[in-house]
Amino acid sequence: MKTNQKVVIITGASSGMGRATALYLSKQGFIVYAGSRRPEKLFNIESQNLHPIKLDITDSKSIKEAISTLDRVDVLINNAGYGLVSTVEDVTEEEMFHQFNINVFGVLRVCKAVIPTMRSQNSGIIINISSFLGKIGLPLLTFYNASKYAVEGITDSLRYELKDFNIRVHSIMPGFFDTNFARDNLVINKKTFEEDSAYSTLVSTLAPQIIEQINNGNNAIEVAQLILEIIEKDDFVAHQTAGDKAKKFIPMKRELSDEDFERRVIAYYHL
Ligand SMILES: NC(=O)c1ccc[n+]([C@@H]2O[C@H](COP(=O)([O-])OP(=O)(O)OC[C@H]3O[C@@H](n4cnc5c(N)ncnc54)[C@H](OP(=O)(O)O)[C@@H]3O)[C@@H](O)[C@H]2O)c1
């Protein structure tokens, strides 16, 4: 390994934004460790700069082992995540804990494992992929929303905690992106989706719109390019939007009163 090449770790790199970012950064000359539960899915893009590694973000021991083999870590990209689609009334204990186990505790576990290395280097960049739904609520996505609001909070707190060690922390809030997210990583609660559910009108109104917007969303390469910008610019802002829907709704949320914003969302999604 050339000593001037920066080392990047990405979680959930087997598809979507993680995969696009792994490929893009490796082509830009970074040494990328592309973490996945199924690293074999990355073997077809393995190269001198792109190394698939097994990384299960629910398992602290396996994360520590994976990180301990690396001499340095310049950039950590916490990308792995999925979306639980359930009403609060129907959710099971297992479903709600699992949503936080991946989207929130997974981020914290990997940060915990990587920070000692970054601290000893006196440098590092952590980029958390949250969502515009980390600032905006939607029905049926309460648990996903809560997990991404938490990622925004983690980003804010860690920025203070790590600034004296020259470690920058950022979040990216994507809008809807055309990845495998709608196909593979929207996990539904069966009861919520039953025909005789009290929420059936809400489900039949909102769910198809969300799926359609994800499948017609922006290209994951935009997130990869934004990540490179964040890496290259020392004073990059803490939280950045990506994609059309985030660029539309996040400024609107900032500008309008809570009540006016809510009215816009209700009208937009016919809720
Ligand atoms: N697509 C969108 O519209 C959108 C919008 C806003 C935010 N996001 C966020 O962007 C990130 C990347 O998603 P994507 O759109 O690129 O979707 P994707 O193509 O479905 O990729 C999601 C990745 O997350 C990992 N993952 C999913 N469930 C997991 C689990 N139970 N345990 C561990 N890892 C799991 C998978 O990693 P492995 O299989 O490789 O382990 C997978 O590669 C996620 O955090 C998502 O919440 C997506």
Residue 267 has pLDDT above 90, yes or no: yes
| Residue 195 C-alpha from the chain's centroid | 32
Counting residues of the chain whose pLDDT is more than 70, the rounded percentage is: 99
pTM of the predicted protein model = 0.97
Q: How confident is the model at residue 1 (pLDDT cuts 50, 70, 90)?
A: very low
- With contact defined as beta carbons under 8 Å apart, do 140 and 202 qualify? yes
Region of 125 please: left (phi>0), alpha (psi -120 to 50) or beta: beta
Q: Residue 83: beta bridge partners?
A: 186
Per-residue model confidence as pLDDT tens digits over 171-183:
999 999 999 999 9
Tell which one of 37, 84, 107 to mutate to probe ligand 1, the residue whose CB is within 8 A of the most ligand atoms. Answer: 37
Q: Please state the atom number of ligand 1 nearest to the C-alpha of residue 217.
A: 3
pLDDT digits (tens, 9 = 90+) for 50-81: 999 999 999 999 999 999 989 999 999 999 99
Cβ(25)–Cβ(45) under 8 Å? no
Alpha helices by DSSP H, listed for the chain, are 16-27, 60-68, 93-100, 106-121, 142-162, 181-184, 200-215, 221-232, 244-255, 258-269
pLDDT of residue 4 exceeding 90, the answer is no
Q: Which of 36, 135, 148, 171 is catalytic?
A: 148
7-269: CATH topology: Rossmann fold (3.40.50)
Q: Which pLDDT value is given to residue 67?
A: 93
Mean pLDDT of 88-93: 98
